[in-house]
Amino acid sequence: MSQLREPVFAVFRVVVGVLFALHGLTSLTGVLGGVRGTGAAVEVGLWPGWWAALIQFVGGVLVAVGLGTRGAALVCSGSMAYAYFVVHQPDALVPTANGGELAALFCWTFFLIAVAGPTRWSVDTLFWSAKQSGT
């Protein structure tokens, strides 16, 4: 099973990044249902919704391809911690009561990715390999 750890984690990183990017794209453009299924996009520049959606889209893409993975994942994790504590937690203490399950899951998932790093199947690794080999 240990030989599967790295490829499985790479697939995990890609899937989580794509899901997060799609979540942001939905809010930014209104496609795929838009904000809360209304078909609407978040107003450009609106704090914190538009900025959160931008972080979700850009950060999700970066994590999915493995470019600046640790930094992008840390920013994504922080944005979800902010979402949980500012948006959800004031409504109730636990995630199942305040609707913050996704925010909590994304927060801890991206924190794990930030700590674990991108794996060898990432753009980060391609850049570092090329740099170390002198090309």
* Token couple for 12: 């995990």
| Residue owning tokens 């450009």 | 44
Kind and range of the H or E element at 30?
none
What is the domain range of residue 47?
A: 2-133
pTM, entire model: 0.89
Spatial distance between the Cα atoms of 132 and 135, rounded to a whole number of angstroms? 8
Which pLDDT score is estimated for 123? Answer: 92
Contact 67, 124 (CB under 8 A): yes
Give how many domains the chain has, as a whole number. Answer: 1
pLDDT for res 130: 64
10-residue stretch averages of pLDDT, the chain, 135 residues long = 91 98 94 78 91 98 97 98 96 95 97 94 81 62
pLDDT in the model for residue 1: 79
- Other beta carbons less than 10 A from residue 125's beta carbon: 16
| Residue 47, CA distances (Å) to 43, 54, 83 in order | 9, 11, 12
